[in-house]
Structure 1
Amino acid sequence: MSIQRQFPKLGELRELLQFKKPELNATKRRLTQALTVEDLRLIAKRRTPKAAFDYTDGSAEGEISYRRARQAFEDIEFHPEILRPAPEIDTSVEILGGPSALPFGLAPTGFARMMQTEGEIAGAGAAGAAGIPFSLSTLGTVSIEEVKATNPQGRNWFQLYLMKDRDISYGLVERAAAAGFDTLLFTVDTPIAGNRMRDTRNGFSIPPQLTAKTVIDALPRTSWWFNFLTTQRLEFASLSNTGGTVSDLITAAFDPTISEADLATVRDMWPGKIVVKGIQTLADAQRMVDAGVDGIVLSNHGGRQLDRAPVPFHLLPEVAREVGNHTTILVDTGVMNGADAVAAHALGADFAMVGRAWLYGLMAGGRVGVNRMIAILESEIRRTMGLLGVSSVAELSPKHVTQLTRLAPRDVLGRVSDSRV
């Protein structure tokens, strides 16, 4: 039977020939085209000097820890339940005594204004608008008070490194409490500096130094350098030492003798919730529960300290099973997709934290770039939950996720073991 042809009708052609109005704002145009955090990362790489980008993107030594962390989230299998309609998706959770509109928050990251001049102000503003917590690092480039002014009604958390000069750390604790920050992240995984080889090779320093290499690198990234040179001096808001490499700073300021006695001292000073960040074994998770903290963060510092460290997402099910009824469990390192956060909650996490992801958004487009990152993760969370047949985060459970085995631990006799303590 032959196909009958006809002249196209003008009305039908008119329906087909509808062109989108061109977007003249270059930032909005490129961010709209970003559909994943990886898309934002690629934009960030094009727009940011190599040393600053690599500081965010890189990790320690051979970067094995971070690759394994990402691989762990990729090595999962979801189990959707059929005929379980979820027309309304509730992504909200209660975490550490308060609400969060999404099951993740923005993790503390140092030197954010190095990545893009809006820095922590962009992160705090975007988090506040989205109704999720924002965490300010001790190594932040805006002050505790500036974050509070930017996000006056939102959830602000403070991440504390303990300094050799205890009075500096205690002063920060007092300022964060006075500013109404509700949670303190007591970080324990940085007694000394990790070997971040990208930083060494790039000659990365705080503030960045103008050399022949950096000038050449700046040529296609003039907007970054214009912002850097025409805005307030880049320095730590909470520390007076701003010179040298990150390793120099950590060696000079941080205290490798930090102990549980220090945790107890800070616990007594802090009026809000206290969470220990940097737990990497079940035994340490149990010790912190016995110490009476309000929560723990399973984290290997984004792979930026000890290379070949335990993968937090691998550790999660065992920790959740053993201490999940006694403390709040947060997880970070490698969360780059909303599905990662869904999987973490299904396996027992109460909350996920994203660090690199929000910095990629920041580098890609400042505050609106961070907004875009949050929107991307939210859409991925909603889509994953809907396809699983889950209406709320509370409904997620281990039946929804299987961790596929790629790395199997062995005992001292070489036998495959399930123990990760």
Structure 2
Amino acid sequence: MERQLPSINGLRELLHFKPIDLNRRRARLNSASTIKDLRRIALRRTPRAAFEYVDGGSFDETTQRRNREVFEHVELVPRVLRDVTTVDLSGSIAGSNFAMPVGIAPTGLTRLMHAEGEMAGARAAEKAGIPFALSTMGTTSIEDVASAAPLGLHWFQLYLWKDRNRSLALIERAASSGYTALMVTVDTPVGGARNRDIKNGMTLPPSLSLKTVLDASYRPEWWINFLTTAPLAFANFDSSHGSVTEQANGMFDASLDFNDIAWLRENWHGKLIVKGIQTPDDAERAIAAGADALVISNHGGRQLDRAPVPFLSLPVIRQRVGTEAQIILDSGIMSGGDIIASIAAGANFTLIGRAYLYGLMAGGQEGVERALSILASEMTIVMQLMGITNLAELTPQHIRAYPTLAPLHSKGPQILGAKAPSPKVT
């Protein structure tokens, strides 16, 4: 091997150092290339009680783990030698157009994660051209969210109260503020047993033990924001003190049935979305009661533990309701590949909860924007590598189970490679 003196010019070409970004939030967020990276940043910057309210599930968290395991065992089947110069992620759902097939799911207590809360999510969604769903248990009011993102696509999520007049007042406020869809959640006759929250003393207002204060002291930005902004509270209704589960159970109506969906259909003149569907029979009945779209969801593993995994339920529900019905999938989505797999399996659209909240905790509105940017980039690259240029081309034949995954059902179509009809994508 012949040797020579080092080439200074050659070395100079290799040594290109990144400039130091004095904007530490921007630098921190730019260092994240996946939602998992944002989660790691969020864990460092958020007190344990708030972080685990987002990160945890109910009971033994079996459903939450299964939601992720299924996505991790999906193979994406590529077609090669296609022109994929341009990829189109756009479409329509619930009467409105979207720039990419993912929206921000309704989440409660959002300002506990970061002081910018729902404002950050709504503004980031507006910039991205996707819907933002405000929860009944949100910490910013219906009107303030609409004002914060006046050009955004707003949905309002409703927990139908025992006091129907109070529910009616909420949906009238949403209609007056320009919300285009009402999303009624139906998998919460009572709150799930969220053991992490119980251990962490999650109450409103938060119970500040010495341990809580010490934990927060290592996260000065969160602590300063918490002390110098409006007190944390449910912004859309008056609430009494107590644990989050106790307050939720005081709101939820265990007598809710399909007649109530029909009542909402009569009283809401925008699009009606029913969230929490998990079986074909319930999907069919919800549509018959007036639903314009369904969200197949197990509440991210936060309600019934060992509930069906939405991604596995999707093909059989699609088969039952046909190609014209609009189906939204949530629970477990953490990457652009998960979203593309969901569309291939039969969904028209998806929602993210934890994935956007990790971004929020990592850096407020900029963090949510970073999360959405990551997902958009991943979806584009995945579709190009699969030989796909638009959502309408995706079918169940573009996915299959990884060979080591044992079949979960002995009868009926399997998720992966199921021959359920592809949805009508517009």
Q: TM-score range by the shorter chain?
A: over 0.9
What residue in structure 1 maps to residue 417 of structure 2?
none
TM alignment of 1:92-103, pairs within 5 A = 92-103=90-101
d(CA) in 1 for partners of 2:142, 2:8: 63
Aligned residue among 398, 401, 408 for 1:400: 398
1:13-412 to 2 correspondence within 5 Å?
13-404=11-402, 406=405, 408-409=407-408
Where has structure 1 moved over 4 Å in runs of 4 or more?
407-410
- 2:261–2:286 CA contact under 8 A, matched in 1: no
Query: CA separation in 1, counterparts of 2:236 and 2:392?
Result: 38
Instruction: Render the CA deviation track for 1:115-142: whole Å, top value 9, x for unaligned.
Output: 0000000000000001011000000000
- How far 1:326 sits from its partner (Å)? 3.7
* 1:158 to partner: Cα distance: 0.5
Contact 1:346 / 1:397 at 8 angstroms: preserved in 2? Answer: yes
AA partner of residue 103 (structure 1): P
Contact persistence 2:38–2:358 (CA under 8 A): yes
- 1:13 Cα shift? 3.5
* Secondary structure of the structure 2 residue equivalent to 1:158: strand
SS at match of 1:157: strand
**Per-residue deviation at 1:66?**
0.8
Contact 1:121-1:150 at 8 Å conserved across structures? yes
CA offsets, 1:277-324, max 9 Å, x none?
Answer: 000111111111222310100001111110000000000111112213
CA distance in 2, matches of 1:218, 1:131: 35
Unaligned runs of 5+ in 1: 411-415
Please give the secondary structure, in 2, of the residue aligned with 1:228.
helix
Q: In 1, distance between residues paired with 2:413 and 2:195? A: 31
Amino acid at match of 1:258: L
**What stretches of structure 2 of length at least 5 have no aligned partner?**
415-426
Cα separation, partners in 2 of 1:191 and 1:339, compared to 1, 3 Å: same
CA deviation string 1:32-90 (max 9, x = no partner): 11111011111111111111110000010000011001111111111100111211011
Q: How much has 1:408 moved relative to structure 2?
A: 4.2
Q: Deviations over 1:361-401 (max 9, x none)?
A: 00000000000000010111001000000001111111111
Partners of 2:16 and 2:406 in 1: CA distance: 52
Across the two proteins, how many residue pairs are aligned to each other?
413
CA distance in 2, matches of 1:323, 1:55: 34
* Aligned AA (1:299): S
Residue identity in the other structure for 1:356: R
Residue 419 (structure 1) shift = 7.5
Distance 1:345 1:17 in 2: 43
> 2:242 aligns to what SS in structure 1?
coil
Are 1:408 and 1:418, in contact at CA under 8 Å, matched by a contact in 2? no
Paired residue type of 1:417: K
Compare 311-320 and 204-213 and name the one that shifted more.
204-213
- How many angstroms does 1:242 deviate by? 4.7
CA deviations on 1:256-284 (whole Å, 9 max, x unpaired) are 11112211111111111001100011111
C-alpha distance in structure 2 between counterparts of 1:10 and 1:71, whole Å: 50
In 2, the alpha carbon distance for the partners of 1:242 and 1:87 equals 56
Match in the other structure for 1:413: none
Identity level (%): 50
| SS in structure 1 of the partner of residue 92 of structure 2 | strand
CA contact (8 A) 2:80 2:387 kept: yes
Task: Specify the alignment match of 1:417 in structure 2.
Answer: 411
In the alignment, residue 58 of structure 1 is paired with which amino acid?
G
Shift in Å, 1:409: 4.8
Q: Deviations over 1:390-421 (max 9, x none)?
A: 001111111111134746456xxxxx33389x
Task: Supply the AA of the counterpart residue of 2:92.
Answer: E
Q: Provide TM-score, normalisation by structure 2.
A: 0.94
Find the aligned partners of 2:125 and 2:137 in 1 and give their Cα distance: 19
CA contact (8 A) 2:258 2:285 kept: no
- CA deviations on 1:112-171 (whole Å, 9 max, x unpaired) are 001000000000000000101100000000011111111111210010001122221111
Contact 1:289 1:326 in 2 (8 A): no
Q: Which moved more, 1:373-382 or 1:282-291?
A: 282-291
Distance 1:165 1:291 in 2: 21
Preserved CA contact (<8 Å) 2:262 2:290: no
